[in-house]
A and B are shown apart, each in its own frame.
Chain A
């Protein structure tokens, strides 16, 4: 009863304003023991799992990155910055960074352009439109493994149908995933296909938020369809574009599944990306210390790239207020 009296004195949060945690409440309210208990009881299961499998491992792998830990010997002596020094001088890490960045630089804009193009085409009420949309959405339900297996077959050097299509226009058979210079690009294509549904959904949702009145106003002013798209629609889509760019980049920098399945980093390390190399070091060579250093290095790259995207992106992003 006492507790409910206290609750009655609470203020409602302002309309649509999240504010600071607890800021919406009447400040300085005495917290009852029962609320304390309820808070901890409610939070414990979820928080315990996140602490055990999220927070503790973050600290642990940071420590591990300064240790020699190879699972063979029980002792894990501290070796200072040795793992990080090794990382800087490891030529395969250099290659892995290069491949990861090339992949990201192609995959992210590629997926965004495909998604934007399809979403614009699908953002109208015409016949069969739900059929077209469903075809794009369906790629979202395909696991990376299923996707990789289909594309390995499509791009098979000897019997693949892509080579057949190329032969129809007079292009000789390509080696694709067997070629050190082409394999990465095949992986770019397969992952773009796999993410098409996602980017179409994001752009379609954003397109539906573009007010028709603005487009009408622009056409009264004599804007062509292209100019309306370029000057009205595209700027209004910029928050969605920034979100997609960041989201896709984070995922691209963590590319693993397709590489593991299609090329195992080969041929001749042509598709070794950072996470694949990290996996090799950790779970094939059991260099846990070195792998942890690579993991933290990857984290750093993700942080820097995302921060850059937000900085640059903000300049081109228009938020409607």
Chain B
């Protein structure tokens, strides 16, 4: 603890010479008093995770005891294999992964193209189209979901079964481009200096080449933000899959988990094991890319400032 307090004190002393000392603080603890707040707060925050894990390793009879068994006598990993045997969680994962990856990729491509055109080109109907897109941004999903269901059903029957009801394609296509993505990238592209694009055009590059070779590399932070936000949205989406998907082998993780809960509502150990399995991969992705997720979410908030 002395190691942490030493530079802090040094900082105060050195600033006392030239700058302004913040309030002088007597150290009545060998560590920052904020730990006294943060440790309990963190425990409360992670307690659901801990209890989830503990229950997933208990025997069914241990889980159904009051007062609860706080530490299981033996770790029962069989809950996990039992859960895997009673629902195809591997399949849910593959489905979710396909939906999320394709949705993110489509959004990056389509929103870049459209956002760039709205930012830089002049063409007939641009203002009107952009206004329509902005209008859809304000409307909640519940308003559009019934017609979206009918349209998706029609598409599946008359155009392409793979994007119809009861196919994961139905979870990708309606979200393959979003008004938010187009608006967000357009705003970002407009802040870029025109010179690079102009000189590339003078050198004979096509508009598409300029976008891919010049603009998009400059826009990586914005693209990363859009990717992270789309990832979270797509991964968590529940209402639309609930409406669009009924067969088990097309379900995503949230929908599969919800269905599993409906069938095994009182088998807590099984349910928690299933829940752990559905949480761990996304937590790993989240921690690996934590920086991007945090920056992305933070930037939505700072947009208002």
Contact = CB atoms under 8 A, between A and B. Distances in A.
A40 interface: yes
Nearest to A244: B301
B283 A50 contact: no
Contacts of B117: 38-40, 42-43
Contacts of B46: 135, 138
Interface residues of A, number: 120
A150 B31 contact: no
Interface string B138-152: 111111111110110
Interface string A188-224: 0000010010100110111001000001110110000
**Interface SS of A by simple majority:** helix
From A10, A58, A160, A256, residue with most partner B Cβ within 10 Å: A58
Interface stretch (B73-81, B195-203, B216-224): B195-203
A39 B290 contact: no
A137 B45 CA distance: 10
A108 interface: no
Interface residues on B, range: 35 or more
Interface string A51-66: 1111111101100100
Interface in A141-163: 141-147, 149-151, 153-154, 156, 158-161, 163
A308 B194 CA distance: 39
Contact of A18 (B55, B190, B271): B190
Contacts of B279: 141-142, 146
A170 to B, nearest CB: 14
Interface of A: 3-4, 7-8, 10, 12-13, 16, 18, 21-22, 24-25, 29, 31, 35-40, 42-43, 45-47, 49-58, 60-61, 64, 117-118, 121-122, 124, 126-128, 131-132, 134-147, 149-151, 153-154, 156, 158-161, 163-164, 167, 193, 196, 198, 201-202, 204-206, 209, 215-217, 219-220, 225, 239-240, 242-244, 247, 250, 253-254, 256-257, 260-261, 275, 278-279, 282-283, 288, 291-292, 295-296, 298-299, 302-303, 319-320
